[in-house]
Amino acid sequence: MFKKFEEKESLSSVQQLKSSVQKGIRAKLLESYPHLETHIDLVLPKKDSYRIAKCHDHIEILLNGAGEQIFFRQREGQWMPTLKLLHKFPYFVNMQQVDKGAIRFVLSGANIMCPGLTSPGAMMTPAEKNSVVAIMAEGKEHALAIGITTLSTDDIAKVNKGIGVENCHYLNDGLWKMKPIK
């Protein structure tokens, strides 16, 4: 999604959000990520004014008052946290762990294959199909990617073939390198 993302070329407009839209987004985020509720006021303070950066390929990036990218989505889909936010608050998204052999492929933007999630060194936490998950790596502390499951974890273990998680955002991609928008 953000492989060839260039801030100057890809960003088309930035809009201030109405307070009613802000409340709607906040409610949708709490519905999608119930574990975020205890820290929602740190992530999205009520008094703050949020903006949406519209980008190419129907990508929207939610910006906090300081202009930092905190959530993104494509084509009116589900809001997904950025890796920078996930590194600050790592607990609110399901985590899937890949083995050491998959790290370089994930960091180059490749999707996560089922064998990479079921091999020794990998671990899966239960997740349904189309769930937002953080991709962790064996022996590493922080998430290296955010993705959406293409199968439930039960099906990933049964099938053990094909794509298990679609990689949406990974370390050092265009969104990671993007500076705060003032």
Q: What angle do CA 103, 94, 179 make, to 5 degrees?
A: 65
CATH tag for 95-170 (out of 3.10.400.20, 3.40.1190.10, 3.40.228.10, 1.20.1740.10): 3.10.400.20
Q: Supply 144's token pair.
A: 């290296």
| Mean pLDDT over each residue of the chain, to the nearest integer | 90
Q: Where are the domains of the chain?
A: 7-87, 95-170
For range 78-105, the mean pLDDT: 92
For range 53-57, the mean pLDDT: 88
pLDDT digits 0-9 by tens, 13-49? 899 999 999 999 999 999 999 999 988 888 888 888 8
What SS3 state is found at 42?
Answer: helix
Does 111 score more than 70 pLDDT? yes
CATH tag for 7-87 (out of 3.10.400.20, 3.40.1080.10, 3.30.365.10, 3.40.50.2300): 3.10.400.20
pTM over 0.85: yes
Q: Let me know if the fold of 7-87 is the same as that of 95-170.
A: yes
